[in-house]
Amino acid sequence: MGVVVALEDGKRSGPGIEPLAALVKDDLDRVNQLIVNKAGSDVTMIPEVANHLISSGGKRLRPMLTLAAARMCGYGGDGHIRLAASVEFMHTATLLHDDVVDDSTMRRGKPAARMVWGNPASVLVGDFLLGQAFRMMVEVGSMKALAILSDAAAVIAEGEVRQLAAAKNLATTEDEYLYVVFAKTASLFAASAEIGPVLGGRDHGEQAAFKSYGSNLGLVFQLIDDVLDYGGNSADLGKAVGDDLREGKITLPLVLAYRRGTDDDRAFWRDVVAREDLAEGDLEHAIGLMDRYRALDDTVDRARHFGAVARDALAPFPASEFKSALLDVVAFCIERAS
């Protein structure tokens, strides 16, 4: 886990994502170059829309998983560069389509692409990036990696439709919600990690280990994201929070708070979720209920559980810089919430 250091804002944190980023830096530079090339087109709208999102400060967590897993498994070729770029394109395509589906206005602190270029461009550039992703996968020539990534593409889309169909359903159970998170988020994390040992020619057991690591890390990532949308478990209202509640999105903190609440509390949640926008005081009241019923703390606890499963998935591997960096990422994802 490394030494816990004090950050500038007074929070304490482990080494975080930096060891991983340092280990894959050269490879990631090549991925970033490839991303710029493959998002290029003489149809200028394509690089404009794509770069708006790609260069807007995503952490490149998924491609880093692919790069690290491939290297850790002794892969010496360069197919992992293309697959890592493919994974990032699949992710970017999903974001473009998600923003259209959710009528989102902001993404990563900037106006969503749809607010600048419109819904049609967002849909079509997403399709283009998905097509480019499959092209790059085919160039790499690993049928096994293609199977894993095309499975993920179908599972992601099915998860998105499932979420749409269950939108604003406060009776959603924790298990139902986790299934959506698995499909929407964890499946691409899982695929990103699993293709590393596949490229490295490792056996089924090692592939399954990386898949499990990725999948559980993805669950951690999304659950903590859900917590952060209510301001983190320290309820730090200084951050931009409340988007999920504003859009009536059912996430785990809300599932827990709703199930644990009184009839009055539930009436409040039903009312807020059904309305188009938040009224004065709604968010504060919501966070107050989350506090009272420990919904945020317990969502972080659930995330810790999946984090533990992710760590144990990698337990059989001998100690290495890569292994240590991948374990640090789990801690990093959890610590984001505190």
Contact 240, 228 (CB under 8 A): no
Residue 55: other Cβ atoms inside 10 A: 12
- State the minimum distance, in angstroms, from the CB of residue 280 to its own copies: 29
Strands (DSSP E) along the chain, which ranges?
5-6, 12-13, 106-107, 110-111
- State the minimum distance, in angstroms, from the CB of residue 114 to its own copies: 11
The span from the CA of 127 to the CA of 262, in Å, is: 45
Backbone dihedral region for residue 319 (phi beyond 0: left; psi -120 to 50: alpha; all else: beta):
beta
- State the minimum distance, in angstroms, from the CB of residue 50 to its own copies: 10
CB nearer its own copies, residue 130 or residue 326: 130
CB nearer its own copies, residue 149 or residue 295: 149
- State the minimum distance, in angstroms, from the CB of residue 102 to its own copies: 8
The span from the CA of 312 to the CA of 180, in Å, is: 23
- State the minimum distance, in angstroms, from the CB of residue 205 to its own copies: 23
CB nearer its own copies, residue 156 or residue 303: 156
Backbone dihedral region for residue 151 (phi beyond 0: left; psi -120 to 50: alpha; all else: beta):
alpha
**N-terminal to C-terminal alpha carbon distance within the chain:** 17
> Interface residues with its own copies (CB under 8 A)?
41, 43-46, 97, 100-102, 119-121, 123-125, 127-128, 130-132, 134-135, 137-139, 141, 143, 146-147, 150-151, 153-158, 160-162, 164-165
The span from the CA of 278 to the CA of 287, in Å, is: 13
- State the minimum distance, in angstroms, from the CB of residue 170 to its own copies: 19
CB nearer its own copies, residue 114 or residue 336: 114
216: which residues sit within 8 A by CB, 6+ positions away?
186, 306, 307, 309, 310, 313
Cβ-count burial 148-170 (b if 16+ within 10 Å, e if not): bbeebbebbeebbeebeeeeeeb
- State the minimum distance, in angstroms, from the CB of residue 309 to its own copies: 26
CB nearer its own copies, residue 168 or residue 239: 168
CB nearer its own copies, residue 160 or residue 297: 160
CB nearer its own copies, residue 69 or residue 125: 125
Strand pairing report for 5-6 and 12-13: antiparallel
